[in-house]
Structures are given as structure tokens and as C-alpha cells.
Amino acid sequence: AQKVTQAQTEISVVEKEDVTLDCVYETRDTTYYLFWYKQPPSGELVFLIRRNSFDEQNEISGRYSWNFQKSTSSFNFTITASQVVDSAVYFCALRRNAGNMLTFGGGTRLMVKP
Amino acid sequence: DTAVSQTPKYLVTQMGNDKSIKCEQNLGHDTMYWYKQDSKKFLKIMFSYNNKELIINETVPNRFSPKSPDKAHLNLHINSLELGDSAVYFCASSQERIQNTEAFFGQGTRLTVV
């Protein structure tokens, strides 16, 4: 069975602080895919990144960066110099190689205060 | 142009009624999904469907049924609505043949059963 755990249910930071959202996953598959989605207050789910299990390179996109560590089954997400517009619920998700359904973590609500 | 669109965005109905939520994708994807997000923001897969196979999450009551008139549409029918069905329902699509494509989500339908 697959499982995704986002232990931080809520994080509050002040604008311009850096913040890291944790994601730990469990799977017996050797090939799998990891994702992060953002759900702003308006409610839609916005894709941020996907990562294949065989690609452990970290990735940076503007103020966003992702740290994938297979040894600890973690796929953490860091926002540098946070902004109020980053306030949202962030979901980490896992997909098996065989099949396309996503298993989501419980989400982390990030509140960025001015 | 909206990639995945759902209608209606809001649906308020009484217990015992039958209702449908429509979903259309214009991405040419071959697989569509329905996810349920409960009041605690937990996202869970309900169905995965392509023109070959319907995969049902075993926890979904049989009052819920997906219907696909063609590859671009996957509607969700719910019979005998119950209070516990109140949630946000998300439609999504992806391309199955390319395993690591992300899923694109609709804007969600907030269903309230009174």
C-alpha cells in the first residue's frame, strides 16, 4: 500500500522568511512518481512539480526548490523569501508506475503574513 | 481556454435526490478521474477511467457512478444523496501512455447536501 505523510498541518511565517514543507512517502514500488500541488484559497489544484523516482536531482524554479532524497523517502519543498500570495494548502502526492491514480498527503496549510 | 472544466461549481441539494456533475477536458488525454476532497481537505481517488478500463476505489459507495459518453467527458452521477456526500469533487485528466505526465484538475464542484 502507498502512503504519503505531511506531518505539518499548518505553518505560519512572516513575509520574506524561508519555509520548508515536509513530505514523506511509503511505497513498495521501485519506480514511482512524486508531485506537489498548490491549492490557493480560490480552491483549484495547481500543479507545481513532478519527480521520477530514478531522478534524484534537486530542482529549483524561481523561489521554489525541491529536495528529493530516496534514502529517507522524502520529497521536501522549500519556498525562499515567502510572499503573501504563497498562502495556500500544499499537497504532496505519489503515483505508482503501474496506474495513474494519485495518493495524496493530508496537505500543509501555509499562511504567510505581511 | 480551460483545460479541465466542471459544472456546476456549486451544487446545493436535499437528501435523497439524484444529481450529476459534468466534466470535460480538451487536452486530448486518454484517462480521466474523480477525486473527493472532504471538509478536512483530504483528497481521495474515487474513479480512474479510460476507454479500456474503469478502476473503482473500493471504499466508494455504489450510489456513485461515473459515465463517459466519449473520451473527453467523464460525468459523475450520485443517487440517493446523503449528508456525508457533502464535499468538493474534483475531476482530472492525464495521458496514460506517457507515464509521468501530471494530472490536470478542474476547478472543483462544491456539493452541499441539506
Q: What is the pLDDT of residue A64?
A: 95
Mean pLDDT of B84-112: 89
Q: What is the pLDDT of residue B98?
A: 62
CA dist., res. A67 & res. A109, Å (int): 19
B6 CB within 8 Å of a chain A CB: no
Q: What is the pLDDT of residue B54?
A: 85
Mean pLDDT of B13-20: 98
Instruction: Supply B101's cell numbers.
Output: 505526465
What's the mean per-residue pLDDT of chain A? 94
CA dist., res. B4 & res. B89, Å (int): 13
E strand or H helix at B90, and its extent?
strand B87-94
**3-state SS, residue A85:** helix
B90:A45 CB<8 A:
yes
Nearest to A101 by CA among B19, B6, B78, B53: B53
Mean pLDDT of A10-25: 98
B44 CB within 8 Å of a chain A CB: yes
Q: What is the pLDDT of residue A101?
A: 86
Highest mean pLDDT among A70-74, A87-91, B69-73, B92-96: A87-91
Mean pLDDT of B48-68: 86
B57, pLDDT greater than 70: yes
Confidence band, pLDDT 50/70/90 cuts, at residue B46: very high
> Are B28 and B50 contacting, i.e. CB atoms less than 8 angstroms apart?
no
B100, pLDDT greater than 70: no
Mean pLDDT of B75-86: 97
**3-state SS, residue A16:** coil
A50:B100 CB<8 A:
yes
Nearest to A22 by CA among A101, A84, A106, A82: A106
**Residue where the block lists cell 496549510:** A109
